[in-house]
Structure 1
């Protein structure tokens, strides 16, 4: 079963001084998570996190990465660990090593064990099949069993501080965008033989910047359309063709690729060579 990308936070106590904060060890199996380190709100005036040139302050991508912590007085650092991909282990250890004027503390090392979180699911109303529910990351209808998708709802537990909002394009004549809908809301229609002709998705919430949506959409008579970003749009080439397959998942944001974080609805499509040509009737 597909799993949503996970994250976990912990606090490290820092005494006055200059320290080397080092990403010591990662996951024993699978991809190691990345870490984002920042001063706690109350400590921000007197604690600074300094990373090497060209690296986002406090971003540690893998074991061996490091940052310098300068503390004018004792305070706290917040360490956020984020899995690279859904289902990856969520475990890492960070070590604080005094460089000058620093004092070791009992909280000098922070180890974070895997967090268990139920994966979210997607409920879809599919023509001739009714309501079906799949794990995030699985195809709804899709290449092996294409069928018009008429409505959607994201269910289950997402990472703290992250919500998925949806805006459907109905295949009316002409096609019509409905309003954006928040978490837990069903978008589209049921039993009206009115498939979706497109879909917009965006992330919201305090932790939305740590994640991206990866979406693949299959439209009747067209190749698979692939999109990635914090706000994405999938629409068929003709703008009228029904959506007959959809795959959605969350992944860690591409901090190492600035362009990846700036992708918008206007980006050109990324397409596979797979096409579906099949006579279908909505029900």
Structure 2
């Protein structure tokens, strides 16, 4: 995922990333000014310092990338927020740069070993899921699991959604519904996988999305949504409801994933208190506080 790409707009040179549990490589790829390239500063957001650690090169002393072809690793132990900023090397200098966030996935052997021990991290996004969203001014947009449609980096009115998962387990049943502020026909009606819920070309934004899953104890939804003038909403579980503070705010971004429930969430451990498990994935957001919602 590119954070900055060849832009000189100061307002676009500061990003706030919402990172879930995992490893992430912050990769400073290139800069327009090769003589005096801008520097990239990386730091946890205030109050999130204990949720993550920044792993530097042995010769580095601070989490600053001074030139292209450099990088660092962020280890996130619990969902938190990371700040990434590009600053010019000199007054009036260029801020045009390409910085990427690349998730580092666990190896197959590690995952198998964790499952064999009855513990470990299994929050790996389920492959094969496709999410379609109809975005005002752009038309239909199709993404994979845990990818934004519109969203914090490019908020825009979302007028309908559809989910496709050709490789889903036979026992799993998924339904979903959307709601409109004006009670448009079809508002709140649950539909099965593959069915489009919403409108096209009528300028009717969605004000809520409901996701339901049954037939499995091993999977859950992990979803985030942005509503106009409201913090990003996050919800996980077999049934999630995404809506703004007043249930009337237009939906301006959404991402949906289906993840395995960690074994530690399902197996009793009498010898030690149960600890909350994290989830996995990444995304960009502007300077707004993050709101976490329990599945309803």
CA contact (8 A) 2:122 2:262 kept: no
Shift of 1:187: 0.4
Shift of 1:28: 5.0
Query: Residue 132 of structure 1 is aligned with which of 118, 128, 141?
Result: 141
Once residues 65 and 186 of structure 1 are traced to their aligned partners in structure 2, the CA distance between those partners, rounded to angstroms, is 39
Higher radius of gyration, 1 or 2: 1
Shift of 1:274: 4.5
- CA 158–224 in structure 1, closer or farther in 2 if over 3 Å, else same: farther
Shift of 1:134: 0.9
Shift of 1:160: 1.2
Once residues 193 and 30 of structure 1 are traced to their aligned partners in structure 2, the CA distance between those partners, rounded to angstroms, is 49
TM-score w.r.t. length of structure 1: 0.52
Shift of 1:202: 0.8
Shift of 1:167: 1.1
CA contact (8 A) 1:33 1:62 kept: yes
Matched, 1:183 2:193: yes
Once residues 212 and 223 of structure 1 are traced to their aligned partners in structure 2, the CA distance between those partners, rounded to angstroms, is 23
User: Runs of 5+ in structure 1 lacking a partner?
Assistant: 2-26, 35-60, 67-81, 88-117, 262-271, 277-283
Query: What corresponds to 2:124 in structure 1?
Result: 85
User: Runs of 5+ in structure 2 lacking a partner?
Assistant: 2-105, 267-273, 277-284, 290-296
Once residues 184 and 174 of structure 1 are traced to their aligned partners in structure 2, the CA distance between those partners, rounded to angstroms, is 21
Once residues 152 and 174 of structure 1 are traced to their aligned partners in structure 2, the CA distance between those partners, rounded to angstroms, is 15
Query: What corresponds to 1:237 in structure 2?
Result: 245
- CA 243–28 in structure 1, closer or farther in 2 if over 3 Å, else same: closer
Once residues 241 and 288 of structure 2 are traced to their aligned partners in structure 1, the CA distance between those partners, rounded to angstroms, is 19
- Structure having greater relative contact order (Cα 8 Å, sep ≥ 6): 2
Shift of 1:222: 0.5
Within 5 Å, which residues of 2 pair with 1:90-105? none
Shift of 1:255: 4.7
CA contact (8 A) 2:131 2:162 kept: yes
Once residues 142 and 118 of structure 2 are traced to their aligned partners in structure 1, the CA distance between those partners, rounded to angstroms, is 40
**For residues 153-174 of structure 1, what are the alpha-carbon distances to aligned partners after superposition, in whole Å with 9 as ceiling and x for unaligned?**
1124243132321111112169
Once residues 221 and 28 of structure 1 are traced to their aligned partners in structure 2, the CA distance between those partners, rounded to angstroms, is 40
SS at match of 1:32: helix
Report the count of equivalent residues: 168
Within 5 Å, which residues of 2 pair with 1:7-26? none
Within 5 Å, which residues of 2 pair with 1:1-283? 29=108, 31-33=110-112, 62-65=115-118, 84-86=123-125, 119-161=128-170, 162-172=172-182, 177-205=187-215, 208-257=216-265, 274-275=287-288
SS at match of 1:257: helix
TM-score w.r.t. length of structure 2: 0.49
